[in-house]
């Protein structure tokens, strides 16, 4: 038996507190995305090997996300509540991985730690999405997801620029004898502290509503039957996805490869093609990687600022049209990177990415939330993640071959292909039917 709960309208600061933890989650994620390709190259990886080295993380996410969603739907801890136990466990594991990652001495070690880090981030991330739906009424969810985008932008601004800041502001010296520069190592240590601290802030300042489903005890008993019961319910949910979820999932499927190709290749491309670094041992390479991180930080600053006005734009244009326009702007940013030789012009390209990123982090979830049953929000948020990790798995398995045999390891061209896929995602927004 289900009971309908009327959710009270939350104040600005209550929404601030409940979404602040995403600042730390994105801090860890942004450090990973901005620096992993260069860490792999520092440790001797070739460009065509980079996608495969990212494979373990999405494979794990494909499994972990729906399981965590299933479990969190059935969790009720008398102190921590439903979602917050997963925030805490994920934050602790992610912090440990962030501290260990920049001390990797071999490719296999870095790839293994990326797998652990990505799994841990996923344990925290998807329950945070469900948390917004749990806590906010339908009319406030767009604001809630936009506030998450704001904190994602803020965390990413600092995280992406940290290696550059360590060098130019704090004058940390890199030892050429060390495989991974000291500026990167210190950035990851700071990232671990930021991740744990921000998640703890949300845990301590925000309470959860008791489950609206009065049969939660029966759900717990069902989950105690073991993996089989959970697998049956997850597959049942996949087969019975709401139509709107299928439509926005297809948009996600073509949006995220564009982002992955940017994260795989943008920083090394800037170092090699814009700064003309001959190899990863060159000081020009380090300078280029740091500058690329600075431009990635800038696009996240744009995300932070654009998230402030995104709810008003969505109210006027509708969530579907807003998302479509933002994706087209982002695609133009990715396509333009291949024509730039003056480093400062990259800030223009990254501004376009920042606008798209603000929408990608909020509009799909705002469109999705209204069509999900209250007692399966965690599962469906986990399943929705399939359409993020499946493209990454495909890119990891096959794009390395394309780089080596078709694209001639042209990193800039790979980034532009990502822009083309984002154009396709924007066109698919026409299929989405909003209420």
d(CA 112, CA 97): 10
What's the confidence (pLDDT) of residue 55?
Answer: 78
What's the confidence (pLDDT) of residue 211?
Answer: 63
What's the confidence (pLDDT) of residue 246?
Answer: 92
Confidence of residue 41 (pLDDT cuts 50, 70, 90): confident
Inter-CA distances, 233 with 17, 369, 380, Å:
32, 19, 11
d(CA 216, CA 423): 43
Token pair, residue 297, equals 């930080």
Lowest mean pLDDT among 48-57, 246-255, 344-353: 48-57
Confidence of residue 251 (pLDDT cuts 50, 70, 90): very high
Number of H helices and number of E strands within the chain?
A: 18, 0
Taking residues 24-31, report their average pLDDT: 88
- Residue 263 CB neighbour total at 10 angstroms: 22
Domains (range + CATH), the chain: 13-431 (1.20.1250.20)
Which is more confidently placed, 385 or 109?
109
**pTM for the structure as a whole:** 0.74
Token pair, residue 36, equals 């992993």
pLDDT, averaged across the chain: 85
Q: Is 358 helix (H, G, I), strand (E, B) or coil?
A: helix
Q: Is the pLDDT of residue 1 over 50?
A: no
Taking residues 150-164, report their average pLDDT: 84
In 133-230, the DSSP E strands lie at none
Phi, psi torsion values for 81, nearest 5 degrees: 85, -145
What's the confidence (pLDDT) of residue 217?
Answer: 46
What's the confidence (pLDDT) of residue 227?
Answer: 57
Q: Is the pLDDT of residue 216 over 70?
A: no
Q: How open is the CA angle 284-187-106, to the nearest 5 degrees? A: 70
Report DSSP letters for 132-143, one per residue.
Answer: HHHHS-GGGHHH
d(CA 202, CA 87): 9
Phi, psi torsion values for 303, nearest 5 degrees: -60, -45
Confidence of residue 418 (pLDDT cuts 50, 70, 90): very high
CB 17 within 8 A of CB 205: yes
């Amino acid at each position: 038996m289900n009971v309908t709960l009327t959710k009270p309208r939350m104040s600005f600061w209550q929404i601030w507190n409940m979404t602040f933890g995403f600042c730390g989650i994105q801090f860890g994620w942004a450090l990973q995305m901005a620096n992993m390709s260069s860490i792999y190259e520092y440790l001797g990886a070739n460009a065509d090997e980079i996608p495969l080295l990212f494979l373990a993380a999405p494979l794990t996410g494909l499994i972990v996300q729906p399981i965590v969603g299933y479990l969190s739907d059935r969790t009720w801890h008398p102190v921590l509540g439903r979602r917050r136990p997963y925030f805490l466990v994920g934050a602790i594991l992610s912090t440990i991985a962030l501290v260990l990652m920049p001390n990797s001495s071999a490719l296999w070690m870095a790839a293994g730690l990326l797998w652990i880090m990505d799994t841990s981030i996923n344990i925290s991330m998807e329950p945070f999405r469900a948390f917004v739906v749990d806590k906010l009424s339908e009319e406030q969810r767009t604001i809630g997801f936009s506030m998450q985008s704001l904190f994602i932008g803020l965390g990413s601004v600092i995280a992406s620029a940290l290696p550059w800041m360590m060098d130019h502001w704090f004058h940390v010296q890199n030892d050429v004898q060390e495989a991974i520069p000291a500026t990167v190592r210190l950035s990851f240590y700071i990232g671990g502290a930021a991740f744990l601290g921000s998640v703890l802030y949300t845990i301590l300042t925000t309470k959860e509503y008791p489950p609206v489903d009065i049969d939660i005890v029966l759900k717990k008993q069902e989950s105690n039957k073991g993996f089989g019961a959970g697998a049956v319910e997850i597959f049942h949910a996949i087969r019975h996805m709401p139509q709107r979820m299928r439509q926005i999932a297809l948009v996600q499927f073509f949006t995220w490869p564009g982002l992955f190709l940017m994260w795989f290749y943008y920083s090394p491309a800037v170092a090699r093609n814009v700064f003309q670094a001959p190899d990863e041992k060159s000081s020009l390479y380090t300078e280029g990687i740091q500058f690329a991180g600075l431009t990635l930080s800038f696009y996240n600053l744009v995300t932070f600022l654009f998230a402030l006005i995104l709810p008003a734009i969505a109210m006027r244009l509708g969530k579907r049209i807003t998302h479509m326009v933002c994706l087209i702007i982002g695609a133009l940013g990715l396509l333009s990177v291949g024509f730039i030789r003056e480093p400062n012009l990259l800030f223009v390209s990254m501004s376009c990415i920042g606008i798209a990123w603000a929408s990608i982090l909020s509009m799909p979830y705002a469109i999705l939330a209204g069509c999900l049953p209250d007692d399966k929000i965690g599962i469906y948020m986990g399943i929705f993640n399939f359409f993020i990790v499946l493209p990454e798995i495909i890119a990891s398995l096959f794009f390395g071959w394309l780089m080596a045999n078709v694209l001639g390891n042209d990193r800039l061209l790979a980034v532009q292909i990502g822009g083309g896929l984002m154009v396709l995602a924007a066109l698919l927004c026409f299929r989405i039917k909003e209420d």
